[in-house]
Structure 1
Amino acid sequence: MTGRTIRVETPGDDGVALVTIDRPERHNAIDLETAAELTATWRAVRGDDGVRAVVLTGAGERAFCTGIDRSVSVPQPSSPYAMDDPLLAIGPKANDLWKPVIAAVGGMACGGAFYLLGECEFLIAAESATFFDPHTTYGMVSAYEAIGMAQRMPFGEVARMSLMGTAERLSAARAYETGLVSEVVRDGEAVGAALRAAAVIAGYPSAAVQGTVRAVWSAREAARSQALAGAPHLITLGNAPPEQQAGLFAARKRGHRMR
Structure 2
Amino acid sequence: MSALSGKTALVTGGSRGIGRAVSERLAREGARVGVHYGRDATAAKETVSAIEATGGQAFALQAELGVPGDAEALWAAFDAQAEGLDILVNNAGINKAVDGTLKRIDAVTAEDFDALFAVNTKAPFFITQQALPRLRDGGRIINISTGLTRGAAKPELIAYAMTKGAIDVFTSTLAKDLGPRGITVNAVAPGPVNTDMNAGWLRGEANAAARQQVSGISPLGRVADATDIGDIVAFLASDDSRWVTGQWIDATGGALL
TM-score, scaled to structure 2:
0.33
Q: TM-score, normalised by structure 1?
A: 0.33
